[in-house]
Chains A and B, each alone.
Chain A
């Protein structure tokens, strides 16, 4: 971790997207055995503005940098939250960042869920595992927005009950009018919810496919099956939005590490409207 003194003050304008601002970890919440949510406050100036679905590049100084979705709601007072799963060296350092330590933040980058114009739509949100994190801000926005006429369905799949992230939010969204359903792959007799993959929840909720927009985030296999399930129920591909993840490095479409066919995920995504061409790209077999 770095100190305040390491803050870069004068940066060549063309390099600014590549220069992290320093943020302090003001809170750290353990979500599951390998998932942690960090609350970050800008050390200098105000916190960055973002739209739900966008991501930041977080730096664990001396270790590396990684793309992490913003998991708090836009415009919410207080710090910006990022939810990190411990899967490697950088994410391990971030997950173990102590309150008071400093991390680097570049962003926000990429496209968003486009929730501003969904007032009259039923919105079906399907999240698998930590895929709920990039959707969390969008769900809070939709649930809290006054005057919406469409319903909000939140369908969550996890491996086991103790892998369910944001349980307090799930309760709060349900209390505030969303239809929330949770399913797990494996459980003991204490679990009273559904068992099975998240796609099995789709036929159990009552949405109008003609006026539905679906927001889907999770591992790509899960998203493929979810899209198929939504399409089987009559939701048009163009009304399904998915968030893709690749090896994002620069965040601004310069380096090409996150290229997927003609797309650069950091610049053209991570949120995409589903289409047949996107389906071909993410279904491409290794040769």
Chain B
């Protein structure tokens, strides 16, 4: 059965609860994709062209260092989104993102989405509110990680 891409967008937690015409607007920029294990969705320094809404499978956000195993800085799963660097110039990925297992995702064309947001400020505001909420969560989680909370002990 062919699934309507707008419905898939509306089902994703990033866009759930928004009017269906908003989901359809995003859906107009989207395609349903599958990605094989080990494939890079994002590659550091490369143009940031897509927002990925994960439906199945997990992604590791990695930093690579020559001669060493990549450092994993986050692990993102179904219901979450990957890729924010498309929002602001210079539109280049800051990290690698690698599929840890076969992925099902909605790939949203970034330029298409930016253009629709510019053309329709009400849509753009809704979009930015959703994206900003996710980024705020990630920022706060990152700040707590910086505290190195597990290392704090009283010396005895």
Contacts and interface: CB of A to CB of B under 8 A. Distances in A.
B155 A194 contact: no
Main secondary structure of the interface of B (DSSP, over half): mixed
Interface string B46-90: 000000000000001010000011111111000000000000000
A167 to B, nearest CB: 16
A128 B154 CA distance: 15
A91 interface: yes
Interface in A188-247: 188-197, 199-200, 218-219, 221-222, 225, 245, 247
Given A187-B72, A195-B72, A85 B153 contact: yes
Given A85-B153, A157-B150, A247-B154, A189 B145 contact: no
Interface residues of B, number: 25
Most B C-beta atoms less than 10 A away, residue of A189, A190, A199, A225: A189
Interface of A: 64, 66-67, 85, 87-91, 128-130, 157-159, 163, 185-197, 199-200, 218-219, 221-222, 225, 245, 247
Contacts of A245: 154
Contacts of A199: 141, 144
B145 A66 contact: no
A159 B100 CA distance: 21
Interface of B: 60, 62, 68-75, 98, 100, 141, 144-145, 147-156
A159 to B, nearest CB: 5
Given A159-B150, A197-B145, A186 B155 contact: no
A188 B145 contact: no
Contact of A196 (B62, B100, B145): B145
Contacts of B62: 189
